Amino acid sequence: LENFKKTSEETINYNCLSWALHDTRRKWDPGSEQYYWPKGAATNGLMGTLIGILKELGFAMCSDGSLEVGFEKIAIYSMSGGVAWDHVARQLPDGQWTSKLGELLDITHTDLESLTRSGNKPGYGEVSWFLKRPLGTDGGETKIAQTQT
């Protein structure tokens, strides 16, 4: 990895999607019904499924990862040309990005390219989609949690 700063210790308590959605209490993972996954959403790793969930949480598609005042953006990485999602990063108010790396640590990275794969450099493929929602939105995570319980 390049151009990053460690911001937490390793933990398995949450993953990149949880982190992007400010929910460090739960691991959002379609891999098993033991993990949290919005009720009714398909339990697969397909990009379309994730985008559908994010739209339910108040996000809308946008064209790039430029900083827009009043909005929070996330970037979705894919190692399969956009078929499946492999990582989600969240934009910070200063325009940098923050990521939770699997069950490892949280980092702040200055750009999205820090986590892309190129040549022998490991990474999460390429950024396939950007989404944004107004800052301070309770992205419906609470609503979904309530409908589930």
Partner 1 sequence: MAKVTKRKVQPFIRGDLSLSDIWYREERGQHVRCVPFSSLRARLPLDFPAPRALDAATFSSVEEVLRQVEGMRVAATAGAAVTIRKIWLHFDDPSRQQLKEKLDRLYAEWRTATAHYSRMDQRAMHMAYLSIIGMGPEVIPLILGKMQEAPGEWFLALQAITEANPVPEESRGVISEMTEAWLNWGRERGYITRRPGDPAGSGSVSALALGEFQKD
- The residues binding partner 1 (CB under 8 A) are 12-13, 15-18, 25-37, 44-45, 85-88, 101-104, 122, 124, 148-149
CB of 65 to partner 1, least distance (A): 18
- Which C-beta is closer to partner 1: that of 88 or that of 91? 88
> Which residue number, 15 or 91, has a Cβ lying nearer to partner 1?
15
Strand segments (E) across 17-70: 60-62
Q: For residues 28 and 51, what is the distance between their CA atoms, to the nearest angstrom?
A: 14
Q: How far is the CB of 80 from partner 1 (least distance, A)?
A: 11
Run of H or E residues at 87:
strand 87-91
Nearest approach, Cβ of residue 100 and partner 1 (Å): 8
Beta bridge partners of 134: 71
CA 125 to each of CA 101, 116, 137: distance values in angstroms, whole numbers, following the listed order: 14, 5, 29
Nearer to partner 1, 72 or 76 (CB): 76
Q: What minimum distance in Å lies between the beta carbon of 39 and partner 1?
A: 9
Q: Which helix (H) or strand (E) holds 73?
A: strand 71-78
Q: How far is the CB of 78 from partner 1 (least distance, A)?
A: 11
Q: Cα dist. 8→89, 94, 100, 108 in Å?
A: 15, 19, 9, 10
Q: Cα(118)–Cα(79) distance, rounded to whole angstroms?
A: 11
CB nearer to partner 1: pick between 3 and 66: 3
Name which of 48 and 95 has its Cβ closer to partner 1: 48
